[in-house]
Structure 1
Amino acid sequence: MKVIAITGGIASGKSFVTNEIREAGYKVIDADLVARQVVEPGTHTLEEIKAAFGNQIVKNGVLDRKALGEKVFANPALLKQLTSITGPEIESSIQDSLSFFRMKGEEIVFCAIPLYYEQNYDQTGWFDEVIVVVSDERVQLDRLMARDGLEEWAAQTRIKSQMPAAEKQAKADVVFENNGTEEELTKQVQAYLQNLKEN
């Protein structure tokens, strides 16, 4: 089974690329979705987060992701602490999904992992190829501010909490550049998938 990772900076267009690949009929494991599942009400992960960051980050039994985000993105030590709680759970769940797809005889599976390099997934040996979605910093910043309704400084803080795009690009097997329209990005994805089918 060929396993292909999709990653890139925040607001670079990863989700768009992931959706295009899913719509083309490929199996996709989405780490963002997994990250939400591991902190659902009643999970021991949510209890650990509550113990570490206080009850105020839970509203009506549900994790207030915005409140938690505001807290951790401005503080590298807190972000590291959060990752040490959620990271192993997410990794274990991804591994289970890969085993399931392998058992079912899937030929190609994609994994969308925003923090692929930051959380050392490149060291796991699970992946045969890495796609990195990149966009210019200004484009990324504008998209993030518009998408999440953030002030410029808050958007910059989130971008700076990740590995620089150029560094990710240098490590990638495949790069999608996303500074233009969605149509242009779709064309890159389609050309890539066509190539994947042929080889």
Structure 2
Amino acid sequence: MIVAGLTGNIASGKSTVATFLRRSGALIIDADQIAHDVVAPGQPALEEIRRHFGDDMLTPEGLLNREKLGRMVFEDPDARRRLEAIVHPRVSAEIDRQMARIAENHPDAVVIMDIPLLFETGRTEGLTDIIVVYTPEPIQLERLTRRNGLSPAEAKARMASQMPLKEKVARATMVIDNSGTLAETERQTLAVYRRLARKARQ
């Protein structure tokens, strides 16, 4: 089994690359999905968020109001750090549980740890490779405003809250350029998977 990290910044196309890797045969540990799961109704993290940030961070149905909380934490670094302190340890623990299950049941697998904050949360230890999905900032900004319905100022604030993408590229062992067509991104992703699969067989 080999384990590679997959990261990028918001609206860089990381989820698209993860989908292509999964289709190729990789097993994906999806930190975004885990982060959604740990704040589901009935989970301790959701109650802790409610206590710290207020009842209005929940919808009338008792779900996390992601849009409202997102606006708050992207405008307030202290609030963002507090939210991360609530969510990240729980996400990390679930990643470790999933990794242990894969190691037991699929010892020859290519495992991709799909983690947006891979560098920021210090999850790089033990990875055979780090894949960074790159998109130039103007394209990233355009995609983010269109996809999330944000103003340019709101989108720039969210982009600025993450480690600069160029810095991530400099620390990567593999880079997928997602500034072209979907077919071009898929071709690059398949080439990356084949390299990882060869390593897994060695």
TM-score, with length taken from structure 1: 0.96
Match of 1:39 in 2: 39
Q: CA RMSD in A?
A: 1.0
- 2:100 is the alignment partner of 1:120: no
CA distance in 1, matches of 2:43, 2:189: 36
What's the CA shift string for 1:20-69, capped at 9, x where partnerless?
11111221010000000000001111000001110001011110111110
Deviation at 1:178, TM superposition (A): 1.2
Which residue number corresponds to residue 149 of structure 1?
A: 149
Give the unaligned 5+ runs of structure 1: none
1:76 aligns with 2:77: yes
* Unpaired runs of at least 5, structure 2: none
| Residue 198 of structure 1, CA deviation | 3.4
List, as ranges, runs of 4+ consecutive aligned residues in structure 1 with deviation greater than 6 Å.
Answer: none
Partners of 1:40 and 1:127 in 2: how far apart? 29
Q: How many residues were matched structurally?
A: 197
Q: Which residue pairs with 2:96 in the alignment?
A: 95
Distance 1:127 1:99 in 2: 15
Pairing of 1:42-61 with structure 2 (within 5 A): 42-59=42-59, 60-61=61-62
The amino acid across from 1:14 in the alignment is K
Instruction: Tell me whether 1:106 sits opposite 2:71 in the alignment.
Output: no
Q: Percent identity?
A: 38
- Structure 1 residues 140-174: Cα deviation after superposition (integer angstroms, max 9, x where no partner): 00011111111000000000000001110111111
Letter of the aligned partner of 1:34 in structure 2?
I
Q: In structure 1, the residue corresponding to 2:127 is in which secondary structure? A: coil
**Cα deviation per residue 1:72-122 (whole Å; 9 max; x = unaligned)?**
011111101100000000000000000000011332211100011111212
The structural deviation recorded for 1:70 is 0.6
